[in-house]
């Protein structure tokens, strides 16, 4: 790892994949609403990890318990942590091939079903950097089905960032797991900070985006999440939750309405750019 030190000093890690619901644009607002002091950090819907990276940069020794139910995503974090050099080589190989014949190569990789860890993860990152809108979406059989994006020069191998991410993830204070959110939250104690960023409750039928994994997150899951929120609240944790401004969420969290704020977001997920702007979402806290 020594040869990487110079880069580490100058590079701030950021999400290595573009993820639906990514929080980078909202970071300044979210940051203002975080507790000033807390013990450990819990984020059980990790996605691209924008919030975790932000907090680790502020407090490098922070103890973090992070997870997501998407096993390919978690395998990517683990691979970047443990085998970053091999991963970079595999991405460089994809990049060379892509720039020779993008369309043919993209669809060949999209149809492939790799078996090794490095091949699986380099495929996920490659597709994420080159697919339409950069979003991860699988169909009901768990197959990635997004068409080729219109990029002229996608940055398939962001080496500096992968090395910086690898370095921060090697901290013994970070636990990364693939599991349901309730399992991760079992360990949360008084004065810990929990940030919950679940797949959002759809506001209307057409905005229903719940295919991050092939099990979608339904209303019963939103209810389970509400019960977890209440449990953590009574334990003395600081809990902050993002969700859509939908009637279902407003009703479930009615008792926290005085600690609920509306924030405007620009989520970059609708493929029709005209529909991307100007909608608001909720930030619900217990403090």
Ligand X SMILES: C[S@@+](CC[C@H](N)C(=O)[O-])C[C@H]1O[C@@H](n2cnc3c(N)ncnc32)[C@H](O)[C@@H]1O
Q: Is 217 in the site for ligand X (CB under 6 A)?
A: yes
What are the tokens at 237? Answer: 């944790």
Tell me which of 63, 119, 180, 233 binds ligand X, using CB under 6 A.
180
d(CA 76, CA 74): 5
**CA 214 to the chain's CA centroid:** 16
The nearest distance, CB 249 to ligand X, in angstroms, is 13
The nearest distance, CB 179 to ligand X, in angstroms, is 7
CA-closest candidate to residue 286, choices 183, 222, 180, 192? 192
d(CA 31, CA 12): 17
- Residue ranges in 3-22 that form contacts with ligand X under rule CB under 6 A: 19, 21-22
- Residue ranges in 72-101 that form contacts with ligand X under rule CB under 6 A: none
d(CA 82, CA 268): 31
Q: Is 197 in the site for ligand X (CB under 6 A)?
A: yes
The nearest distance, CB 170 to ligand X, in angstroms, is 21
277: left (phi over 0), alpha (psi -120 to 50) or beta: beta
Tell me which of 212, 229, 238, 268 binds ligand X, using CB under 6 A.
212
Alpha-carbon distances, residue 118 vs 86, 125, 127 (angstroms): 7, 11, 14
Q: Which stretch binds ligand X (CB under 6 A): 99-107, 124-132, 212-220, 227-235?
A: 212-220
Q: Is 228 in the site for ligand X (CB under 6 A)?
A: no
**CA 130 to the chain's CA centroid:** 18
Tell me which of 87, 185, 199, 284 binds ligand X, using CB under 6 A.
199
d(CA 157, CA 89): 9
* Cβ proximity to ligand X, 97 vs 137, nearer residue: 137
Q: Which stretch binds ligand X (CB under 6 A): 39-47, 82-90, 113-121, 278-286?
A: 39-47
The nearest distance, CB 130 to ligand X, in angstroms, is 19
What's the sign of the alpha-carbon dihedral 242, 226, 222, 202? negative
* Cβ proximity to ligand X, 145 vs 255, nearer residue: 145
The nearest distance, CB 5 to ligand X, in angstroms, is 28
Q: Is 192 in the site for ligand X (CB under 6 A)?
A: no
Q: Is 23 in the site for ligand X (CB under 6 A)?
A: yes
Number of residues that bind ligand X (CB under 6 A): 21
The nearest distance, CB 68 to ligand X, in angstroms, is 5
- In degrees rounded to 5, what are phi and psi of residue 260? -105, 130
Say whether 56 sits in a helix, a strand or coil: helix
**CA 97 to the chain's CA centroid:** 28
* Cβ proximity to ligand X, 67 vs 95, nearer residue: 67
Tell me which of 41, 45, 53, 268 binds ligand X, using CB under 6 A.
45
Q: Which stretch binds ligand X (CB under 6 A): 6-14, 64-72, 161-169, 260-268?
A: 64-72
d(CA 69, CA 46): 9
Contact 20, 136 (CB under 8 A): yes
Contact 35, 58 (CB under 8 A): no
Residues interacting with ligand X, by CB under 6 A?
19, 21-23, 44-45, 47-48, 50, 68-70, 180-181, 197-199, 212-213, 217, 221
């Amino acid at each position: 790892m020594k040869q990487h030190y110079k880069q580490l000093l100058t590079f701030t890690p950021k999400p290595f994949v573009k993820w639906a619901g990514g929080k980078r644009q909202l970071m300044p607002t979210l940051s203002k609403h975080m507790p000033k002091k807390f013990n450990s950090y819990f984020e059980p819907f990790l996605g691209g990890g924008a919030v975790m990276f932000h907090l680790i940069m502020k407090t490098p020794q922070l103890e973090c318990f992070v997870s997501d139910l998407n096993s390919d995503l978690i395998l990517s974090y683990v691979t970047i942590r443990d085998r970053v050099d091999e991963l970079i080589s595999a991405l460089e190989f994809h990049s060379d091939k892509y720039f020779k014949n993008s369309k043919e190569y993209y669809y060949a990789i999209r149809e492939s079903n790799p078996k090794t860890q490095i091949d699986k993860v380099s495929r996920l990152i490659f597709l994420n950097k080159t697919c339409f809108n950069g979003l991860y979406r699988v169909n009901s059989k768990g197959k990635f089905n997004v068409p080729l994006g219109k990029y002229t020069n996608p940055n398939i191998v962001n080496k500096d960032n992968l090395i910086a991410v690898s370095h921060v993830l090697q901290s013994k204070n970070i636990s990364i797991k693939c599991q349901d959110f309730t399992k991760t939250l079992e360990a949360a104690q008084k004065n810990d900070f929990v940030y919950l960023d679940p797949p959002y409750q759809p506001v209307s039928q057409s905005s229903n985006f719940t295919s991050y994994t092939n099990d979608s997150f339904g209303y019963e899951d939103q209810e389970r999440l509400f019960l977890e929120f209440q449990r953590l609240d009574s334990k003395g944790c600081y809990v902050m939750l993002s969700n859509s401004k939908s009637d279902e969420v407003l009703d479930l969290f009615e008792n926290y309405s005085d600690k609920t704020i509306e924030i405007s977001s620009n989520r970059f997920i609708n493929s029709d750019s005209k529909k991307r702007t100007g909608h608001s979402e909720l930030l619900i806290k217990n403090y």
